[in-house]
Amino acid sequence: MIEWDKIEQQALECVARQTKEHEEAAVYNTKKVLDAFAAHQVADYYMLPSNGYAYSDTGRDQLDLIYADIFKTEAALVRSQFVSGTHALAVALLGNLHPGDELIAATGEPYDTMQTIIGSPVKTPGSLTDLGVIYKEIPMAGDTPDIPALLKALSPKTRMVHVQRSCGYSSKRKTLTVAKIGEIFKAVKAVRPDIICFVDNCYGEFIEKQEPTEVGADLVAGSLIKNLGGGLAPTGGYIAGRADLVEQASYRLTAPGLGGEMGATLGDTAREMYQGLFLAPHVVLQAVKTSIFAASVFQSLGFSVSPSPEDVRSDIIQTIVLNNRENLCAFCEAIQAHSPVNAHVPPVPSHLPGYQDEIIMAAGTFVQGASIELSADAPLRDPFRVFMQGGLTFEHGRIAIMAAAKQIMEQGK
């Protein structure tokens, strides 16, 4: 008989042991945000809506400067017009790569939606390879980047090295720490200082005290319905980095010559983006605590988990190998049933644009698809590994995870 109270208590003790550094990072990053707000004299009128062309939208322009301060970069582009993190990544890549340029992925095969942007292994219309960009992929050496192989692959045409911070849907690698990303870029810059070092930063912001732009990244991009939106931003994404690279990206978001000078901030979006950024370090901490709790509970039940409860973490994602389709669906059903929104709607596997397999998603979220809120998704393929992330409050995460564990064990598959 499973001693559920004991498993839960052990998981709570594990969370208490493992979150000291993350709590320190949350305080450090909150101070970083507060300092940036004070430096740019954030006032209530920054949060007013704009319309039309939105020239001289002070709140929009100041938020760009605040993000640049937080990332310690020359510039940033923070916009509700980014429809997703994937869109922000696409804009950053398409704005800075041209026909004949070479892009090298330093962290192996990217996740599914990035493959459609790149156009590999299938050349999708409008993708980088479709537009004449050359693409190379360096397999990971176990679960770490193969830096010697990367350096050997550089050619005169290489313009950008791409690093995916998070593990994505891969079972062959772990999420990279900021320090490890710094090692990659230090090696690249020692050989070719002209190469653009780019990071897909999704799921990783505010986990550590540093961001990749502080260890050699020239450009980063991500989503506002993940970490930096703090659970309040209703949509959007960001790009931060060298001023010339951000400017080139901005021409892809709007139009050449217009760039970041335009783009209305409608409704209450400005307030939600500012307030969400202020809350983000605390909310990210809640998500990390939820992931550690889940890792401990499911490891105690005999399931393979990554990261382990004791591992160093650099994103909010927790993977759990659930072994079969039934368990995977049961996990997602339980997360959905214990969500604040649409708890009555069972998730159903289906094909989604940009993915190669059927996907099941549990996301009873206030913002559709927001993975800073407690959510879970997975491709329905062997070994039926679920990717769980988020949690606006640890209390919610604890309740939902215990329910998912019990539902799986009760069905006995």
Read off the CATH number of the domain in which 378 is found. Answer: 3.90.1150.60
- Report how far residue 196's alpha carbon sits from residue 209's, in angstroms, rounded to the nearest whole number: 23
pLDDT in tens, 306-331: 999 999 999 999 999 999 999 999 99
Q: What share of the chain is helix, strand, coil (3-state, %, to 5)?
A: 45, 15, 45
187 and 334 in a common domain: no
Looking at 251-370, which runs of residues are DSSP E strands? 304-306, 317-321, 359-362
pLDDT in tens, 70-126: 999 999 999 999 999 999 999 999 999 999 999 999 999 998 889 999 999 999 999
Computed from CA positions of residues 406, 285, 44, 258, in that sequence, does the dihedral angle turn out positive or negative? Answer: negative
Q: pTM score > 0.85 for this model? A: yes
Neighbour-count burial for 132-151, b at 16+ CB within 10 Å, e otherwise:
ebbbbbbebeeeebbbeebb
Q: Is the separation of the CB atoms in 235 and 83 below 8 Å?
A: yes
Q: Is residue 97 part of a domain?
A: yes
Out of 234, 261, 277, pick the residue that ends a domain: 277
Out of 252, 277, 302, pick the residue that ends a domain: 277
Q: Is the separation of the CB atoms in 347 and 333 below 8 Å?
A: yes
Q: Is residue 41 part of a domain?
A: no
Number of domains making up the chain: 2
Q: Is residue 40 part of a domain?
A: no
- Please state, rounded to an integer, the average pLDDT across all residues of the chain: 96
245 and 136 in a common domain: yes
Domain containing residue 401: 4-27+281-411
Q: Is residue 369 part of a domain?
A: yes
pLDDT in tens, 350-363: 987 666 789 999 99
Read off the CATH number of the domain in which 88 is found. Answer: 3.40.640.10
Query: How far is C-alpha 240 from the chain's CA centre?
Result: 14
325 and 255 in a common domain: no
253 and 165 in a common domain: yes
CA dihedral 201, 204, 208, 209 (to 10 degrees): 40
- Report how far residue 363's alpha carbon sits from residue 164's, in angstroms, rounded to the nearest whole number: 23
21 and 63 in a common domain: no
Q: Is residue 36 part of a domain?
A: no
Q: Is the separation of the CB atoms in 184 and 147 below 8 Å?
A: yes
Q: Is residue 144 part of a domain?
A: yes
Rounded alpha-carbon distances, angstroms, from residue 164 to 40, 62, 186, 353: 31, 28, 16, 20
299 and 273 in a common domain: no
Q: Is residue 39 part of a domain?
A: no
234 and 144 in a common domain: yes
